Amino acid sequence: MQTMTSSSHRDRPTASPAPCAAETTRFPSAAAYAAALEASAERRARGDEGTADAAALRELRLLLEENLSALRAVYEEQRRTIASALRHVETARDELGALSQADAPWVAALDQTRALIRAAFAEMAAGKPQQR
């Protein structure tokens, strides 16, 4: 939980946002990159620098391709999350629109209830007994 830094809400906890796939997935690219650096250093120490540079470039290319695929996965997840949020907003908007219609069933029921209460109060004011 994080706390807000505003002075009026300083002690009020707020929920942390849900982690996305990039935060919950362990990418092997960091370990692969470290291993590639170690292998490259070992090859240089043995004197295989010509082949080490080509191997290091291949390893770097693989690392960059892995990172690109991870970024694409995060992008797709965020795209799906935003689409889902928009669907929820549209549903809420439609429901509010239904509530705001003058001919909605709840409006008629409320009007009938108001009429019954008004009639009951009128009878009470006139001193007539109520009929059930």
- 45 lies in the same domain as 88: yes
92: in domain: yes
- On whether residue 115 sits in a domain, the answer given is yes
Whether residues 26 and 84 fall in one domain: yes
Nearest to 41 by CA among 52, 57, 28, 30: 52
pLDDT at 88: 95
Q: Is 54 inside any structural domain?
A: yes
What confidence score (pLDDT) does residue 39 get? 74
Residues 96 and 108 grouped into a single domain: no
Identify whether 2 is part of a domain. Answer: no
- In this structure, the answer to whether residues 51 and 93 fall within a common structural domain is yes
Residues 6+ apart with CB under 8 A from 14: 1, 2, 3, 4
As a whole number of angstroms, the distance between CA 13 and CA 2 comes to 6
Residues 65 and 77 in one domain: yes
Judgement on whether residues 24 and 42 belong to the same structural domain of the protein: yes
- Predicted confidence at residue 23, as pLDDT, reads 44
> Do the beta carbons of residue 42 and residue 53 sit within 8 Å?
no
pLDDT at 84: 96
Residue 45 sits at the vertex; the CA angle it makes with 43 and 51, to the nearest 5 degrees, is 30
Distance, in Å, from the CA atom of 88 to the CA atom of 131, rounded to the nearest integer, reads 48
Both 65 and 129 in one domain: the answer is no
**In total, how many domains does the chain have?**
2
Same domain? For 42 and 90 the reply is: yes
Q: According to the model, what pLDDT value does residue 27 have?
A: 47
Q: Are residues 96 and 71 in the same domain?
A: yes
Say if residue 30 is in the same domain as residue 67.
yes
Domain that holds residue 112: 103-132
Closest CA to 16 of 1, 4, 27, 34: 1
CB 29 within 8 A of CB 63: yes
Same domain, 64 and 112: no
From first to last of its 132 residues, the chain has per-residue pLDDT tens of 444 444 444 444 444 444 444 444 444 566 666 777 777 677 667 765 566 678 888 889 999 999 999 999 999 999 999 999 999 999 999 888 887 887 888 888 888 999 999 999 988 888 766 565
Number of helices followed by number of strands (H, E) in the chain: 4, 2
Residues 66-104: pLDDT tens digits?
999 999 999 999 999 999 999 999 999 988 888 788 788
